[in-house]
Amino acid sequence: MFLLLFSYCFLTLGQVCAKLAGRSLGAPDLSTLLFATGTYLFFALRGVLWVFLLRKVKLVLAYPLMSVGYILVLFVSVRFFQERFTPGKVAGALLVILGVTAVSHGEALLQRRRR
C-alpha cells in the first residue's frame, strides 16, 4: 500500500512540475529546465514504482486506484495554483471515488466467492 501512496505522490509532483514548467515557457530560463527535468524524473520514479506495485497487486485493482491521483491533483491545483473547485469537478471527484469503491468492492466479493 505504501508503494501506491508513493506512486500517487510522484505522479502529483510530476504534474506540479509540468505546470510550473509550462508557466515559464514564454520566457524560458533555468527554472523551466529544472521543472521540466523534475517532471520526467517524477514520472520515471512513478513508472518504476508501478512495476514493483504490479508484482503484488492485480492490474484490475491497481489501475482504477490510480484514479485517486486525479483527486489529489485537484486539491493541489486548488491549494497551490489558485484554481477553483466547481460543481463539475466535485461531481467528477465523487464519481471517481464511487468507481474506485465499486471496483474494489467487486474484486473483494469475487475473492470471497473463490474461497
Q: In which region does residue 82 sit, left (phi positive, over 0), alpha (psi from -120 to 50) or beta (all else)?
A: left
Structural domain count of the chain: 1
What is the rounded average pLDDT of the residues 6-13?
91
Domain range for 38 is 2-114
What is the rounded average pLDDT of the residues 14-42?
90
> What are the pLDDT digits (tens) for 57-91?
888 778 888 888 889 999 999 999 999 999 999 99
For residue 108, which of 67, 50, 100 has the smallest C-alpha distance? 100
> What are the pLDDT digits (tens) for 29-39?
888 899 999 99
For residue 73, which of 2, 1, 4, 17 has the smallest C-alpha distance? 17
The pLDDT value given to residue 103 = 83
> What are the pLDDT digits (tens) for 83-113?
999 999 999 999 999 988 888 777 666 667 7
Alpha helices, DSSP H only, in the chain?
2-23, 30-56, 59-65, 68-81, 87-114
